[in-house]
Amino acid sequence: MPGQRRAPEPRAARAPVQRPPDRGRRRPLPRHGSPPLLRARRLRGSDPGPRLRGGPPGLGAGREPGLGERRPGDPRGRRRCLDAEPRPPRQHPQRRLPRGRGGRGVRRPDRRRRPAGRRDLHYDVIDPEQRARLAARSLYNVVHVDLPEGGADPYAAAAATLHGWQREGAVVREPDPALWALRQDYEAPGEALHRTRSGFLCRVRIEDYGPGRIRPHERTHPGPREDRLRLTRATRTNLSPIFALHSDPAGAARSSLAPHAAGEPWGDVTDDEGTRHRTWRVTDPDAIQAAQAALADAELLIADGHHRYETARVYADEVGGEGPHRYVLMCLVALEDPGLTVFPTHRLVRGLSPERQEALADAIRASFDVREVGRAELVPSPDGDGPLTLGYVDAHFQRPFALTLKDPAIADRALAGRSDPYRRLDTAVLEALVLKDALGMTDDDISHLRGLGYARDAGEALGLLERGEYDAAFFLRPTPVEQVRAVAAAGESMPPKSTYFFPKLLTGLVFNPLTDD
């Protein structure tokens, strides 16, 4: 049981401007669409690398239809539809813009040749060893742009690399606007069940958070925001899609694209984790209009990519005016999709002096019933109706325990003033009772990861403890999607890393240029 004392352990994709839609009556499909996007050549075969965000010769015409509203105070009002028809160049969309838009992307010109290691994991799940391995696989691996190395100015190096790919013809502009249907076939870790998650890639109008618009569900860390902003300034390109959820109980959006995703996919790759990613290019105006209509009043909940969305907002305001920079690439998935899977992100703490260890043990005993369990029971079962339960183990004794909250009133007192959905969050209760009350962490400490770390699975967390990198670990249940939605609807943001949506989206399928020239 915790409580015994121990000594402390020492840029620039080009996209022609397009004519704005008519100012007249509102309709699902504007007459004219958005700027072209960047995409890769046709993808086939097994992908030798993990997934990263948007990239080189494996780029997909990703940002095509964007779902976005007007900015607050805009007299032109808001409109939430997708647009996938080109506008003539030299005219900016200075009027009511649709929320979702299609564009012409940049892609690899050879639609038959299989790219070598050009799609990968998101920058925030790649460690230095993985980064080096991926970069060595291909000069066109997206890590060279999305996670750049370049001496004094890695961001300038990323922009130069991206521009070089375009000059070489490694990526080319997609001739026509399109939506991109996406299916991810995967087997969740620890399960033998095969699942399929379906969605589509489009451009979304950037707007402030609010009801009926776009909602976040997690707080963000300042470091990644600054990194992504500097990269965006240099490349003037969205390099990876934001993952967002929308309600579509009738499956209207999916049904509108399904006939176009029944044949041979444009891209078909399998990553190192065994996830198969298939994409279909949809240019049929009727299908696009049907998808627009299905999402006309949809609220979008950001599932993954909060830092990138906030970066896009800041960048759009820096540039000012209207143009492609007012849109961001998203992958939209229905909340009702049967393939939607959420895993927890476990917490680790370090720098525990004997005094802090005693405080931690006292806090645990005061608020939780403690029961010793086997290691197989460290990760609590995902029982949304049961009492809050955490797994716990420290590096010194290495004895696993289950910690069950004695009374919900304890969480209510610790989180007074917060909404009921927020007070029922495992991550929020752990943050309030343990990280803040027992260990004295501040919001700034948590934001800057002072004494705090994260692990995506139990094996990773236990390995960090065994190597002495952390002193203790807390294991959490996955947060149900409906709980994510309830917290967002209450106008609150969860603690950072409250969810881990699996699988990640590939980087390198789609780029979104943020300029018209």
SS3 content of the chain, % helix, strand, coil (to 5): 30, 20, 50
pLDDT tens-place string over residues 17-42 = 333 333 333 323 233 334 456 665 55
The DSSP H or E segment spanning 371 is strand 368-372
User: Is residue 80 predicted with pLDDT exceeding 80?
Assistant: no
393 pLDDT higher than 80: yes
Rounded CA gap, 138 and 117, in Å? Answer: 6
Separation between Cα atoms, residue 70 and residue 28, nearest integer Å: 16
Per-residue pLDDT, averaged over 134-138, amounts to 89
Among 369, 311, 294, 289, which Cα is nearest to 101's?
Answer: 289
The residues near 459 (Cβ < 8 Å, ≥ 6 apart) are none
pLDDT, tens only, 258-285: 999 999 999 999 988 899 999 999 999 9
φ/ψ of residue 146, rounded to 5: -80, -25
Cis, bond preceding 503 (omega within 30 deg of 0) = yes
Residue 192: predicted pLDDT: 76
User: What are the structure tokens assigned to 158, written together?
Assistant: 């990323």
Residue closest to 335 by CA, chosen among 215, 232, 495: 215
**What integer pLDDT is reported at residue 336 of this predicted model?**
92
Measuring CA to CA, which residue among 499, 432, 494 is closest to residue 219? 494
Distance CA 247, CA 343 (A): 20
Q: Which of 145-154, 360-369, 371-380, 468-477 has the lowest mean pLDDT?
A: 145-154
CA 437, 441, 447, 450 torsion-angle sign? negative
pLDDT of residue 83: 30
* H or E stretch covering 290: helix 285-294
Range in 66-80, 203-217, 237-251, 407-421 the model is least confident about: 66-80
Residue for token pair 């050879």: 110
pTM of the model: 0.76
300 φ, ψ (degrees, to nearest 5)? -105, 130
Which backbone phi and psi does 245 adopt, to 5 degrees? -110, 150
Q: Which residue has the higher pLDDT, 86 or 282?
A: 282
Residue of higher predicted confidence among 80 and 254:
254
pLDDT tens track for 307-351: 899 999 999 999 999 999 999 999 999 999 999 999 999 999 999
Angle between helices 222-235 and 306-319 in degrees, nearest 10: 50
Tokens matching residue 191: 């399960």
Q: Which of 501, 452, 416, 512 is nearest to 195 (CA)?
A: 501
**Of 124 and 435, which is predicted with more confidence?**
435
pLDDT at 432 over 80: yes
CA distances from 26 to 22, 64, 177, 203, 276 (A): 9, 20, 21, 19, 39
What's the topology of domain 345-477? 3.30.1760
**DSSP letters of 176-187?**
S-BEEEEEEEEE
388, 380 Cβ separation under 8 angstroms:
no
Among 294, 292, 283, CA closest to 260: 283
Element (H, E) at 204: strand 194-205
Q: What angle do CA 316, 94, 305 make, to 5 degrees?
A: 30
3-state class (DSSP) for residue 133: helix
The whole-number pLDDT of residue 39 equals: 62
What distance in Å separates the CA atoms of residue 403 and residue 395, rounded to the nearest whole number? 17
**In this predicted structure, what is the pLDDT of residue 7?**
42
Helix (H, G, I), strand (E, B) or coil at 334: strand
Confidence of residue 517 (pLDDT cuts 50, 70, 90): low
**3-class SS of residue 349:** strand
- Tokens, residue 353: 């002096």
On the question of pLDDT at 186 being above 90, the answer is: yes
Give a three-class secondary structure readout of 186-198: EECCCCCCEEEEE
Rounded to whole angstroms, the Cα distance separating 222 from 229 reads 11
Q: Where are the domains of the chain?
A: 38-341+503-513, 345-477
